[in-house]
Amino acid sequence: MTISKIEDAIEAIARGEMVIVVDDEDRENEGDIIIASDSITPQAVAFMMNHARGLICVAMEGEQLDALDLPLMVPRNTEYHKTAFTVSVDYIPGTTTGISAADRAKTIRALVDGSTRPEDFARPGHIFPLRANPKGVLGRPGHTEAAVDLCRLAGRYPSGTICEVANDDGTMARLPELMLFAKKHGLLLITIKDLIGYMEQRTHVDAMLEMAGTEEVGAPGHSASQ
């Protein structure tokens, strides 16, 4: 099992598949399963519950969370990596206790449904929204930002459902175990480091194209109306 290309992971996310994203050894040194929130299913949630075993969270943009009136869980975040948890939620219509895979999938789907209203959620609940840095992985090299960036690049709604991968004995899976996990379940594995490099290159290219366009418009013989 080798580390996959970012482009391949983007295509997998676009198809509604799960990928594994690993951060640096000097950070959390953990791997998260990531899937686009708008493609979540009860089966995908059950896979996370049974095989990944971590906390199921939904990475979202701040604007989305503000529209749903989901503030940060605490006013002063003292968590080491400053993971921006909001209040947890359960979707009320058509669910029971909120803990089943089916109920959690409905809650996740509702979070990314533009017609959902703040009063449609019970607080607290069993799904944990996360507020992503507006600059993505270029602003914070976390799984939260990686999820939003990957979904946006894939043309999906900019929100990813994530879950940490743990070993059978309850310890956190590191890169060697994560590579075995990915191979066993047929999942692509990428690193946040590579995603940062991809985003930096993309940002550089966009800036160069914008600069070239500005110079062309301002060149002699050209008018802005052309």
State the binding site for Mg(2+). Answer: 28, 143
Residue with tokens 């994560």: 178
Residue with tokens 């990928």: 19
Q: Give, to the nearest 10 degrees, the angle between helix 143-153 and helix 192-218.
A: 50
3-class DSSP string for the chain: CCCCCHHHHHHHHHCCCCEEEECCCCCCCCEEEEEEHHHCCHHHHHHHHHHHECCCEEEECHHHHHHCCCCECCCCCCCCCCCCEECCEEECCCCCCCCCHHHHHHHHHHHCCCCCCHHHEEEEEEEEEEECCCCHHHCCCCHHHHHHHHHHHCCCCCCEEEEEEECCCCCECCHHHHHHHHHHHCCEEEEHHHHHHHHHHHHHHHHHHHHHHHHHHHCCCCCCCC
Q: Specify binding-site residues.
A: 27-28, 32, 140-144
Taking the C-alpha atoms of residue 23 and residue 141, their distance in angstroms, rounded to an integer, is 8
Q: Specify binding-site residues for D-ribulose 5-phosphate.
A: 27-28, 32, 140-144
Taking the C-alpha atoms of residue 136 and residue 210, their distance in angstroms, rounded to an integer, is 21
